[in-house]
């Protein structure tokens, strides 16, 4: 996650990055997201039966996608995964604490 996905977002968040650079970075991220999507097919979590720190990290990285123009709808498995993680009570509490979602 850190080297293949996280690092790949850097050019997309860099305001002075040339458009061509961002286009290449987005395409590369798309290929990597496709790989992760294939690895998650038929699984609830990345590393087996239970939620792990890797799932929390992937959830965070996937959350950046809409901010850089990458729509998770291209990867239904990743979209469902992101939604599943977002519904965990601890994740909901963290997102509320950080002001990323409204308290109900």
Find, among 3, 52, 55, the residue nearest to 29 by Cα.
Answer: 3
**Mean pLDDT of all residues in the chain?**
94
Exposure string over 89-100, b if 16+ CB within 10 A, otherwise e: eebeeeeeeeee
Residue 104 reports pLDDT greater than 90: no
Query: Residue holding tokens 């690895």?
Result: 39
CATH of domain 6-97: 1.20.1050.10
pLDDT tens digits for 56-68?
999 999 999 999 9
The domain locations on the chain are: 6-97
pTM of the model: 0.90
């Amino acid at each position: 996650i850190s080297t293949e996905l996280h690092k790949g977002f850097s050019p997309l968040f860099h305001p002075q990055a040339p458009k061509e650079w961002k286009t290449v970075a987005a395409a590369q991220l798309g290929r990597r997201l496709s790989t992760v999507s294939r690895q998650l097919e038929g699984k609830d979590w990345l590393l087996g039966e239970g939620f792990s720190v890797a799932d929390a990290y992937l959830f965070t990285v996937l959350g950046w996608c809409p901010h850089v123009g990458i729509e998770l709808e291209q990867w239904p498995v990743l979209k469902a995964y992101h939604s599943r993680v977002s519904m965990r009570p601890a994740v909901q509490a963290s997102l509320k604490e950080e002001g990323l979602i409204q308290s109900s």
